[in-house]
């Protein structure tokens, strides 16, 4: 506030009145103060203000994509558990995959005086945090890395996870494998498409762009994309879904069309093992990722001065049946394995 007062050429009391919207300041003076505030990117420190009033609030902020998604609900719960052990409360907000909303929420949380931030980024440019990093606000990114800044991040092994899921389908005789996923602006989508392509190329298979459907972050959009794929003149015999929401949509379409299609999804999801043919998935522990990110944030708050850390959480393939269905007709390649044939005889996704 002293810097604002100096730039505006007014007293500290006048700045305080403008910031707190108190009467007694004429319009021209208020305009000078507001101009100085904008120039200096000043924000009122509510945390310090609360302390002066005798209120002690230890809080961290958590910005996720959508709390309705079970994945993020698990993340939020794990963060809360770690924060509680460290004597902090968590203020949560959902960006809905909107970069502008992410920035707005982040700045609002800082305005509220949170000690640190955990962010699942929707955007690809986080330079807006530079001013706050200079003010020693700690931020850790999870699930996706930050854009255009160096910062702590806890992420999944997306490329390797997608590659092993597609390799599993290839090993069971599939050569036309579709990919259903989020928009290409989402970093996890970029990395999982990369793993998909790597698996096909390593097997000497062409990447048919007609089988790559991005831009389906919602269940209904994933279902619509899968219906389109299965209606192609030369449809895929297998589908790889990028995440749990894509998986639910793809499986709905497969069942509605009574299609005999193999399936592997990235992310486990509720009741996946209870389907008529249980879903094969590339699984990981979102709670492990969230706990690692939260512990790293509290280590920073405690004075950890190491360079920015990147922690990668591994994945594992869980074969349950859907990924072991073999093509119904030869595709001019090596025959499926005996294990794949046995899995096929156990059933298919039509239930």
Q: Decide which of 48 and 70 is more confident.
A: 70
In a domain, 44, yes or no: no
* First-to-last C-alpha distance (Å) of the chain: 67
If you average pLDDT over each of 65-74, 319-328, 341-350, which comes out highest? 319-328
Residue 327, domain CATH: 3.40.50.2300
Angle at 154 between CA 152 and CA 160, to 5 degrees: 130
Judge if 273 and 168 occupy the same domain.
Answer: yes
Q: Would you state the pLDDT for residue 136?
A: 66
The predicted-structure confidence for 76-105, as pLDDT tens digits, reads as follows 999 999 999 999 999 999 999 999 999 999
Judge if 245 and 293 occupy the same domain.
Answer: no
In a domain, 16, yes or no: yes
The predicted-structure confidence for 276-317, as pLDDT tens digits, reads as follows 999 999 999 999 999 999 999 999 999 999 999 999 999 999
Spatial distance between the Cα atoms of 144 and 121, rounded to a whole number of angstroms: 6
Domain assignment of residue 69, given as a range: 49-156+287-313
Judge if 59 and 133 occupy the same domain.
Answer: yes
Share of the chain above pLDDT 70, in %: 84
Could you give the number of structural domains in the chain? 3
Spatial distance between the Cα atoms of 263 and 324, rounded to a whole number of angstroms: 8
Counted residue by residue, the chain has a size of 351
Q: Would you state the pLDDT for residue 53?
A: 47
In a domain, 41, yes or no: no
The predicted-structure confidence for 237-249, as pLDDT tens digits, reads as follows 999 999 999 999 9
In a domain, 36, yes or no: no
DSSP state of 312: E
The predicted-structure confidence for 4-61, as pLDDT tens digits, reads as follows 778 778 887 787 776 666 777 787 887 887 777 766 666 555 555 544 444 446 899 9
In this structure, the number of other CB atoms found within 10 A of the CB of residue 253 comes to 22
pLDDT at 340 over 80: no
For the chain, the average pLDDT equals: 87
Residue 89, strand partner residues = 59
Judge if 252 and 229 occupy the same domain.
Answer: yes
Judge if 175 and 323 occupy the same domain.
Answer: yes
- Write the burial class of residue 110 (CB in 10 Å: 0-12 exposed, 13-18 middle, 19+ buried): buried
Hey, what are 262's tokens? 């193999």
How much is the average pLDDT of 103-116?
91
Judge if 132 and 254 occupy the same domain.
Answer: no
Judge if 186 and 330 occupy the same domain.
Answer: yes
- The three-class DSSP label of residue 193 is helix
Judge if 273 and 139 occupy the same domain.
Answer: no
Judge if 25 and 54 occupy the same domain.
Answer: no
- The three-class DSSP label of residue 323 is helix
The predicted-structure confidence for 171-227, as pLDDT tens digits, reads as follows 999 999 999 999 998 999 999 999 999 999 999 999 999 999 999 999 999 999 999
Q: Would you state the pLDDT for residue 29?
A: 82
Spatial distance between the Cα atoms of 142 and 293, rounded to a whole number of angstroms: 6
Q: Would you state the pLDDT for residue 313?
A: 97
Judge if 166 and 150 occupy the same domain.
Answer: no
Judge if 85 and 113 occupy the same domain.
Answer: yes
In a domain, 240, yes or no: yes
Q: Would you state the pLDDT for residue 150?
A: 93
- The three-class DSSP label of residue 261 is coil
């Amino acid at each position: 506030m002293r810097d604002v007062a100096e730039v505006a050429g007014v007293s500290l009391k006048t700045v305080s009145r403008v910031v707190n919207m108190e009467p007694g300041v004429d319009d021209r003076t208020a305009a000078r103060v507001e101009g100085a505030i904008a120039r200096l990117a000043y924000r009122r420190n509510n945390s310090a203000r609360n302390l002066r009033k005798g209120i002690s609030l230890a809080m961290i902020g958590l910005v996720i994509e959508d709390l309705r998604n079970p994945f993020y609900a698990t993340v939020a719960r794990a963060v809360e558990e770690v924060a509680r052990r460290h004597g902090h409360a968590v203020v949560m907000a959902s960006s809905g995959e909107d970069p502008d909303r992410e920035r707005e929420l982040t700045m609002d949380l800082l305005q509220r005086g949170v000690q640190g931030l955990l962010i699942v980024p929707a955007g690809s440019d986080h330079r807006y945090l530079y001013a706050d990093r200079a003010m020693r606000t700690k931020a850790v990114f999870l699930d996706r890395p930050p854009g255009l800044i160096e910062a702590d991040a806890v992420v999944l092994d997306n490329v390797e996870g997608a590659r092993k899921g597609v390799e599993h389908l290839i090993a069971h005789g599939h050569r036309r494998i579709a990919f259903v996923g989020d928009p290409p602006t989402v970093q996890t989508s970029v990395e999982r498409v990369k793993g998909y392509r790597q698996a096909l190329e390593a097997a000497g298979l062409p990447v048919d762009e007609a089988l790559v459907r991005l831009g389906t972050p919602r269940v209904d959009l994933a279902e619509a994309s899968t219906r389109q794929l299965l209606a192609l003149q030369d449809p895929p015999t297998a589908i790889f879904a990028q995440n749990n929401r894509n998986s639910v949509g793809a499986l709905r379409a497969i069942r509605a069309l009574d299609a005999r299609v193999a399936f592997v999804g990235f992310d486990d999801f509720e009741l996946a093992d209870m389907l008529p043919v249980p879903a094969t998935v590339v699984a990981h522990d979102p709670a492990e990722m969230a706990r690692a990110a939260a512990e790293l944030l509290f280590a920073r708050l405690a004075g950890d001065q190491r360079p920015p850390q990147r922690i990668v959480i591994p994945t594992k393939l869980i074969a349950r049946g859907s990924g072991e269905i073999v093509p119904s007709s030869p595709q001019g390649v090596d025959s499926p394995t005996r294990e794949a044939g046995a899995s096929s005889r156990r059933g298919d996704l039509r239930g």
